[in-house]
Amino acid sequence: MIFRKAACALTGLLAWTGTAMAAPREWETGLQPAVTPVMERVEDFNQLLTYLSVAISLFVLALIVWVLIRYNRRANPVPSKTAHHTLLEVVWTIVPVIILVIIAVPSFKLLYYQGTIPKPDLTIEAIGKQWFWTYAYPKEKFQFDSLMLSDEDAAKAGDPRLLGADNPLVVPVNAVVEVETTGADVIHSWAVPAFGVKMDAVPGRINKTWFKATKTGTYYGQCSELCGARHAFMPIEVRVVSQADYEAWLTKAKQEFAANAPENDGTRVAALGR
| CATH number for 238 | 2.60.40.420
- By CB atoms closer than 10 A (0-12, 13-18, 19+), residue 226 is exposed
| Domain membership flag for residue 227 | yes
| The overall pTM is greater than 0.85 | no
Number of domains in the chain: 2
Q: Specify the range with the lowest mean pLDDT, choosing from 24-28, 47-51, 62-66.
A: 24-28
Residues 130 and 257 occupy one common structural domain: yes
Q: Which has the closest alpha carbon to 7: 41, 56, 53?
A: 41
The reply to whether 162 and 62 lie within a common domain is: no
C-beta atoms surrounding 193 within 10 Å: 21
**Distance from C-alpha of 234 to C-alpha of 223, rounded to nearest angstrom:** 6
Q: What is the pLDDT of residue 261?
A: 66
Asked if the structure places residue 206 within a domain, the reply is yes
- Residue 26 falls inside a structural domain: no
**Would you state the pLDDT for residue 262?**
60
Residues 229-247, mean pLDDT to the nearest whole number: 96
Inform me whether the pLDDT recorded for 270 exceeds 60: no
Confidence of residue 83 (pLDDT cuts 50, 70, 90): confident
Using the predicted structure, report yes or no on whether residue 11 has a pLDDT greater than 80. Answer: no
Is residue 205 domain-resident? yes
Domain boundary among 115, 136, 159: 115
Say if 74 falls within a structural domain: yes
Q: Are 168 and 218 in contact (CB under 8 A)?
A: yes
Q: Is 126 in the same domain as 111?
A: no
Q: Are 228 and 132 in contact (CB under 8 A)?
A: no
In a shared domain, residues 152 and 80: no
Give yes or no for a contact between 225 and 188, defined as CB atoms under 8 angstroms apart. Answer: yes
Q: Cβ contacts of residue 48 below 8 Å, gap of 6+?
A: 3, 102, 103, 106
Q: Is the pLDDT of residue 203 over 80?
A: yes
Asked if residue 129 and residue 259 are part of one domain, the reply reads yes
Q: What is the pLDDT of residue 41?
A: 97
Q: Environment class of residue 227 by beta-carbon count within 10 Å: exposed (0-12), middle (13-18) or buried (19+)?
A: buried
Percent of the chain at pLDDT > 70 equals: 86
Q: Is the pLDDT of residue 25 over 50?
A: yes
pLDDT at position 274 over 60: no
Please tell me the number of Cα atoms within 13 Å of 224 on its side-chain side.
Answer: 13
Domain that holds residue 107: 2-12+31-115
Q: 33-37, 69-73, 262-266: which has the minimum mean pLDDT?
A: 262-266
17 in a structural domain: no
> Which of 83, 115, 147 is at the close of a domain?
115
130/258 same-domain check: yes
180 plus 221 within the same structural domain: yes
Any domain includes 189? yes
Q: Does the pLDDT value for residue 220 go beyond 70?
A: yes
